[in-house]
Amino acid sequence: MKKPGEVFEDASVYDPGIEAIVPRYDELHDAILNAPPHDRGEPLRALELGAGTGELTAKLLTRFPESTVLAIDHSEGMLAEADRKLATFGDRATIRQGAFPDDYPDATGEYDLVVSSLAVHHLDDATKRDLFDAVLEALAPGGWFLNGDVVRFEADHLEELSDRMIRNWVRSKGWEEAEFMDVWKASDDYDDPATLTDQLVWLRESGFEAVTSIWQYYNFAVYGGRKPE
């Protein structure tokens, strides 16, 4: 049985599949990785929540070659893929199984950067707010939280517009639309996206500063904030 975030039963097809269903997937990741104020040579301590196959972690470790990342996911299949992908980084990458915010992050105050991609929208609104509180506690003063995720429009016609955009994207990638969209829609059972506006407000209420939206393409957005010094 699939868990939240397991869009495909076979984790080995997640990477090509997600690029076919999430428009500008690499651009979303770039927006996350371009946003931190740190120099590339800094020894960042980073945490990724919902690491999946380790794609964003691998990009982060490459972008910041002195960094270390603790990559968290609850899916055994995803973590097996991540273990293979991140092996080349040696002890700079640590992979652990767990859920958020129940298991991670803990209130260590040690991370310079907490990131997540296409994962937080699986949480209900109250749990999102709990997660934002926990992330703030886990960050070192001045540390950043950056999330790239699905967001919800309050206007029905914009939700319909986004759905049409995704269908067109799938076709442009050469996938069979009907079969692919059936798989994608099945994953909606685990989805509970919130509006971008609400999440920016919740980050401020949790105590983040410099809260902002960095990038958006239809109903995919990158946003975040900084823990006060």
Cα torsion 13, 167, 195, 99 to 10°: value is -10
| Matching residue, tokens 């997937």 | 25
Both tokens of 181, joined, read 């969209």
| Matching residue, tokens 């990785």 | 33
Amino acid at 94: T
- Does residue 111 sit within a domain? yes
Note down the domain range covering 83: 11-226
What's the mean pLDDT when you consider all of the chain?
A: 90
Cis before 37? omega within 30: no
End-to-end C-alpha distance for the chain, whole angstroms: 44
Per-residue pLDDT tens over the stretch 38-97: 999 999 999 999 999 999 999 999 999 999 999 999 999 999 999 999 999 999 999 999
Q: In what order do the strands lie in the sheet with 68-73?
A: 93-97, 68-73, 45-49, 111-117, 139-150, 220-226, 209-217
Both tokens of 197, joined, read 């506006």
pLDDT at 2: 43
Q: How far apart are CA 208 and CA 131, in angstroms?
A: 13
pLDDT at 15: 76
- Does residue 4 sit within a domain? no
Query: Beta partners for 202?
Result: none
- Does residue 3 sit within a domain? no
**Residue 224 host element (H or E):** strand 220-226
* pLDDT tier, 180 (very low <50, low <70, confident <90, very high otherwise): low
The better pLDDT of the pair 10, 144 is held by: 144
Q: How far is CA 35 from the centre of its chain?
A: 14
Domain holding 67: CATH number?
A: 3.40.50.150
pLDDT above 60 (res 1): no
Q: How far apart are CA 55 and CA 60, in angstroms?
A: 9
- Whether the Cβ atoms of residue 221 and residue 213 lie closer than 8 Å to each other: yes
- Does residue 106 sit within a domain? yes
What angle do the packed helices 14-21 and 25-34 form, to 10 degrees?
90
- Does residue 1 sit within a domain? no
Query: Residue 84: which residues within 8 A CB-CB, separation 6 or more?
Result: none
How many independent structural domains does the chain possess? 1
